[in-house]
């Protein structure tokens, strides 16, 4: 159980609020202008993967932004096959990218100091346990935009739903589904394009997305 905050640690927590606020504003400005480190890291990674001929798709918050819901994110999500990850590591490990820890699939862009979260074909979203929805082959869910492969909207929604349904700490994934429904004005029937296992949750969130937020 987490201890209740004491006056001493509350003071520590609030001591740097203003400077963190200013830093967040500056980062948001860079992000929405397309100049944030995370965006530069994603472009650099995509270029190197393309040069190697490794199939990939950008996932995560950057993919959510690409599909219409721009929200800040601090890491790059990328879907690879196990072979694709091995080929990338063989060529680029120690040459601009490092493992987050020895043998990890996750990487760090050493130039931009940005974390790269690698998702592997055949693994399972959310709690990582076997389920009807698994991470697909990136070549089968790629939408190429201006030279960068982005995960398609149906595949993104499927993975977000499967993740949020099975991992209590992944509520952002469900919030992303609601936001994507809204910003793309998706019809309720869009759920028919998704895996049957996630359709009931999509329908639930689709209905939630129709509710207007209360005005202050």
Q: Where are the alpha helices (DSSP H) in the chain?
A: 7-14, 17-32, 37-52, 60-66, 82-92, 153-166, 171-183, 199-209
- The pLDDT of residue 25 is 65
Q: Which domain holds residue 51?
A: 31-209
Classify residue 125: in a domain, yes or no.
Answer: yes
Classify residue 14: in a domain, yes or no.
Answer: no
- The pLDDT of residue 216 is 47
Classify residue 9: in a domain, yes or no.
Answer: no
In whole angstroms, what is the distance from residue 189 CA to residue 147 CA?
31
Classify residue 214: in a domain, yes or no.
Answer: no
Instruction: Give me the number of domains the chain comprises.
Output: 1
* Domain CATH for 40: 3.30.460
Tell me the pairing of strands 75-80 and 114-120. parallel
In whole angstroms, what is the distance from residue 162 CA to residue 196 CA?
11
Classify residue 39: in a domain, yes or no.
Answer: yes
Classify residue 7: in a domain, yes or no.
Answer: no
* Residue ranges, the chain, pLDDT below 70: 1-15, 18, 21-28, 30-35, 214-216
At 124-157, the pLDDT tens digits run 999 999 999 999 999 999 999 889 999 999 999 9
């Amino acid at each position: 159980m987490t201890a209740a905050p004491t006056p001493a640690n509350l003071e520590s927590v609030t001591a740097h609020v203003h400077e963190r606020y200013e830093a967040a504003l500056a980062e948001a400005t860079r992000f929405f202008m397309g100049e944030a480190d995370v965006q530069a890291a994603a472009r650099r990674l995509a270029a190197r993967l393309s040069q190697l001929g490794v199939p990939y798709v950008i996932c995560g918050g950057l993919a959510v932004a690409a599909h219409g819901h721009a929200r800040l994110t601090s890491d790059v999500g990328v879907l690879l096959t196990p072979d694709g990850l091995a080929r990338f590591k063989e060529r680029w490990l120690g040459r601009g990218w490092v493992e987050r820890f020895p043998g990890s699939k996750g990487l760090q862009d050493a130039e931009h100091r940005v974390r790269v979260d690698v998702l592997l074909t055949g693994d399972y979203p959310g709690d990582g346990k076997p389920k009807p929805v698994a991470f697909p082959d990136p070549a089968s869910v790629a939408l190429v935009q201006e030279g960068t492969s982005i995960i398609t909207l149906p595949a993104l929604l499927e993975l977000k739903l499967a993740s949020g349904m099975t991992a209590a700490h992944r509520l952002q994934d469900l919030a992303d589904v609601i936001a994507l429904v809204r910003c793309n004005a998706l019809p309720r029937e869009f759920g028919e394009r998704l895996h049957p296992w996630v359709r009931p949750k999509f329908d639930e969130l689709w209905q939630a997305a129709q509710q207007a937020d209360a005005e202050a």
